[in-house]
Amino acid sequence: MKARGWLGVVVLAVATAAAVGAAEAPKSEVFDFNEEVKKGDQRPGFTFRQFVKTPNYTASAIGVKEEIKMHRHKDGNHVIYIVSGQGTAILDGKPITLKPGTVVHIPKGSAHNIKAEGGEMVILDFAQPPFDPAQMEWIK
């Protein structure tokens, strides 16, 4: 799908989530997802950019260049959508193949990692409650 199609996915997802938490999200917004990925803060092996934050959920753009090491989220659930690229993940000890169009539900407390293969993998991440990096537990 072309970049314009991904913009539609982001707008639809944000609009749907806003409808669920309409009282907390007083205005609509439109984002260019590809630009959000480019603006990501560099972290070891990946970039991260939170572009929507409401009291109920967050939406983030993640560019995995190498790997997001094994970790868990102590505060809530995540749903990731693979926009482009490919790779693998380990979710609760089980390997998962990741490719464009793959959707993965990561329940609160589930140990997981994400590895890119053959170039950058771009991910749209939805978290509820809002993602809080302080609630990540890195697993050695």
Strand arrangement, sheet containing 41-43: 41-43, 46-53, 58-64, 121-128, 77-84, 103-106
d(CA 130, CA 58): 5
pLDDT of residue 26: 62
- In a 13 Å sphere around the CA of 51, the CA atoms on its Cβ side amount to 26
For the chain, list the domains and their CATH numbers: 3-138 (2.60.120.10)
How many CB atoms within 10 Å of residue 19?
A: 9
What's the pLDDT tens digit per position in 65-95? Answer: 999 999 999 999 999 999 999 999 999 999 9
Strand partners, 122: 63, 84
The structure's pTM equals: 0.81
* pLDDT tens sequence across 13-61: 554 454 444 455 468 999 999 999 999 999 999 999 999 999 999 999 9
φ, ψ of residue 9 in degrees (nearest 5): -60, -45
